[in-house]
Amino acid sequence: MCGIVGAVRNSEASGFLLEGLRRLEYRGYDSAGVVVINHAGALERTRTIGKVGELEQALQRSPLTGMTGIAHTRWATHGGVTEPNAHPHICNDTLALVCNGIIENHESLREVQRASGLTFTSETDTEVVVHQVYLHLQEGLDLADAVRATMKELQGSFALAVVHAGEPGRLVVGRQGPPLLLGRTDDETFVASDINALLPVTRSYQVLENGDVADLHDTGCLIRNDRGEIVERPLHTSAQSGDAVELGDYRHFMQKEIHEQPRAVADTLEGRLLGDRVLEDSFGAKAKEIFDATRQVQIIACGTSYHAGLVAQHWLEYVGVPCEVEVASEYRYRRHAPREGTLVVTISQSGETADTLAALEEAVRQGAMGTMVICNVPESSLVRESDLAFMTHCGPEVGVASTKTFVSAMTGLLLLALVLSRRHGFDAGFETHVVRQLRTLPGALESALAMEDAIAEMAQAFGDKAHALFLGRGAHFPIAMEGALKLKEISYIHAEAYPAGELKHGPLALVDEKIPVVAVAPNDLLIEKLKSNLEEVRARGGRLYLFADPASGLVESEDVRILHVAPVDSAIAPIIYSVPLQLLSYHVALIKGTDVDKPRNLAKSVTVE
């Protein structure tokens, strides 16, 4: 996922474009670039590798002057992190374009364009887009018509913005998948991937729909839909602050980041789904080749990321893919029996976790067929060292206790299970069903967040406790593990998690009225088994705190407190049930008076062994 910003102004555009990129940097920060139509009617471009700060320094040394321009912050998909691969891309010094998305048929388009005499300066799929628009201009089409014709020829999910050197004061944009917003004032127009980029200049915006092409001028814009009909999209007014590193109305960054999860998941899914299927290219340029050769998956991670891997093991094995999950610090220090066709998947918020990096190196040394990372930082070491990369697109996560990166990592792992399911006998109907559930995920997360007040009240029961026990079954046992980890991380309560069926094998000895027992109880195939386990707790005087599906049949009593979680499909239930446990740990920590965002002895990124 990348970030697009553009402007048609009555003053210099570069200042707005640069600030817009800063606000979009969470969408990609391995390179950035800007182009303007200068006052002589020529294109001027500056591109840099690294974060937006590098671009800012370059523009301070050599400012760009012009009132119409586009800019881009990139997360690399096709082509490495190099200046030639950075956007904007230019064709024949007359046409400049930025794109967010993946063009699936770029290879066939490239062959035709080369035959037409066009040359390429990058490895990206985006360069074929600017060339295709240029070819249509050469046929005599107007700029907007050329963009519309090009969009009909592209396969994939994308949003784009284009300017022509001979037409200062004009900017044409189009959407087919990723969001694209138009900002409006009385005498200026803007475009961005996210409302946050528009907020420095306007709170009034329109959202383009799929297939829309908008022709922007300083006096307004004309929008046509995919049938070429003139349409008017609703004008909205934003109430957002748009500042990703300010608390706003939240008490702590952890609370803010818990509430950002619907958006984080939506951004993680953005551009990865086309209709009812997953776009394999969203995992990287070599995804098909590596997935075709995958016979089993080895997941390596630490802490919260390890728990995400344990959930994914259930999904992967359900679709017929053998999967092993191991803590990185253990993996690297023992010998492994090599297995043909092993895809090694690492998970890390920072991409710099020392043990995970070392484990990846060891896996490669032992002959891993391919490597893939799920990460939140595009320029990180794990991303650079892996064959494939799936970015979670969460934006900055300040709180030490991972929340939005956890649910977004699970989302990416579920997408991985779907693309591998195609190779193990699962028909398109299965993928269609799960993709449709994934599209409901942001809304389901919002419903879970609405439980916060009730969870805060439940947390009062933990204020004087020193220990807690968490229970789950199946894919929800790792969620119980994550709940226990969160509670111990930020409230310093000793918490342990067990599969509920293991109670009789030891943990029941701990149960009494002083230890709260927390369980997740979705209405799945294991619910009756779980009920029996919970009765074992009650029979020993334990007090239960349950997060349960309303249809589970569980009943409140003096020693059983139940908060109902809105019904969700089993495919996404583990992701949803993690949210109440995050909120529980947060509100218990408030009662305990701990430093929620910076718990003692812990750091956000573990870069030493």
- Tell me the residue type at 195: I
For residues 43 and 167, the answer to whether their CB atoms sit within 8 Å is no
Output the CA torsion 551→553→556→559 (10° steps). -130
For residues 190 and 4, the answer to whether their CB atoms sit within 8 Å is no
Separation of alpha carbons 39 and 18, rounded Å: 19
Q: Is 467 helix (H, G, I), strand (E, B) or coil?
A: strand
Of the chain, the end-to-end C-alpha distance in Å amounts to 31
Q: Is 149 helix (H, G, I), strand (E, B) or coil?
A: helix
Q: Which of 465, 531, 598, 604 is catalytic?
A: 604
Rounded to 5°, the CA angle 409-355-74 comes to 45
Residue 69 CA from chain centroid, whole number: 28
Separation of alpha carbons 297 and 279, rounded Å: 19
Residue 436 CA from chain centroid, whole number: 17
Q: Is 587 helix (H, G, I), strand (E, B) or coil?
A: helix
Separation of alpha carbons 71 and 517, rounded Å: 52
Could you tell me the CA-to-CA distances from 603 to 356, 383, 606 in Å, in that order? Answer: 16, 21, 6
Element (H, E) at 287: helix 287-293
Tokens describing residue 600: 């003692």
Separation of alpha carbons 342 and 82, rounded Å: 30
Separation of alpha carbons 35 and 442, rounded Å: 35
Say which DSSP state 209 is in: P
- Tell me the residue type at 208: L
Could you tell me the CA-to-CA distances from 445 to 201, 266, 391, 408, 438 in Å, in that order? Answer: 31, 10, 20, 12, 11
Tokens describing residue 608: 């030493």
For residues 102 and 282, the answer to whether their CB atoms sit within 8 Å is yes
Sign, CA torsion 542/580/472/565: positive
Q: Which of 2, 221, 375, 394 is catalytic?
A: 2
Could you tell me the CA-to-CA distances from 201 to 174, 192, 208, 330 in Å, in that order? Answer: 21, 12, 19, 51
Separation of alpha carbons 74 and 21, rounded Å: 10
The reply to whether omega before 88 is within 30° of 0 (cis) is yes
Residue 2 annotated as catalytic: yes
Could you tell me the CA-to-CA distances from 571 to 437, 524, 590 in Å, in that order? Answer: 7, 10, 32
Residue 302 annotated as catalytic: no
Q: Which of 493, 459, 491 is nearest to 599 (CA)?
A: 491
Q: What is the crossing angle of helices 303-318 and 404-421, to 10°?
A: 20
Residues annotated as catalytic (active site), given as ranges: 2, 604
